[in-house]
Structure 1
Amino acid sequence: MPQVTAQGKTFSCPVGANLRQVLLENQVDLYNGQARLINCHGIGTCGTCAVAIMGDVSEVNRRDRMRRSLPPHDSQRDLRLACQTKVLGDITVTKFDGFWGQGTTPEWSE
């Protein structure tokens, strides 16, 4: 089972698990500020679950790519939407500041 490291915690999940669900199930603060209340609940339309990931995850899908191509996100930045990402191997996750996690200062990392 893959190991996920995020916000000072390490936990395992099944191969192919949805990253958003895994993080929330393990009490990781995935959303910044009011995004905890105002988010799309995993359908990939809001972009507030954007994170940086090091490790083996699924390829970027169309919904992820399209949402991160719109402001305030920058498509050139190496972020992913947790709700659209499947965990395939061991990963480390970092969340940045800003309502959508689009900032440059880490809110938390491993």
Structure 2
Amino acid sequence: MSINGIESLGSFGAAGATGFTPLAPPQASPASGRTAGAGAASGSFGDLVLDGLDRLDGVQQSADKLAVQAATGELQNIHDYTIAATQAQVSTQVTVALRNKAVEAFSEIMRMQVG
């Protein structure tokens, strides 16, 4: 199962004077040396999970940065923050739902009888 189609949601926001780009395109992670995105589909499940968490962290950091700019009056367009905050919220909800399903599946596997 792949959720790469969610990346297309990044097109509904516009990069404004703040440089905000929703769901930024995949970039190489210097710490791990792996590239996110289409190449990650051929990676292991663990790499896909780490990639998803890295993306979630990036979306949340972007929303946090815009929140600070809005609070200090440096943000020209408040809708940039609203969009980023909504993306962060939805991304977190999706991540939690996937985690819950994975834990539920693991629990179900552990309850199975062998033999």
Bigger proportion of residues as helix = 2
Higher strand share: 1
TM-score (norm 2): 0.26
Q: Which of the pair has more CA radius of gyration?
A: 2
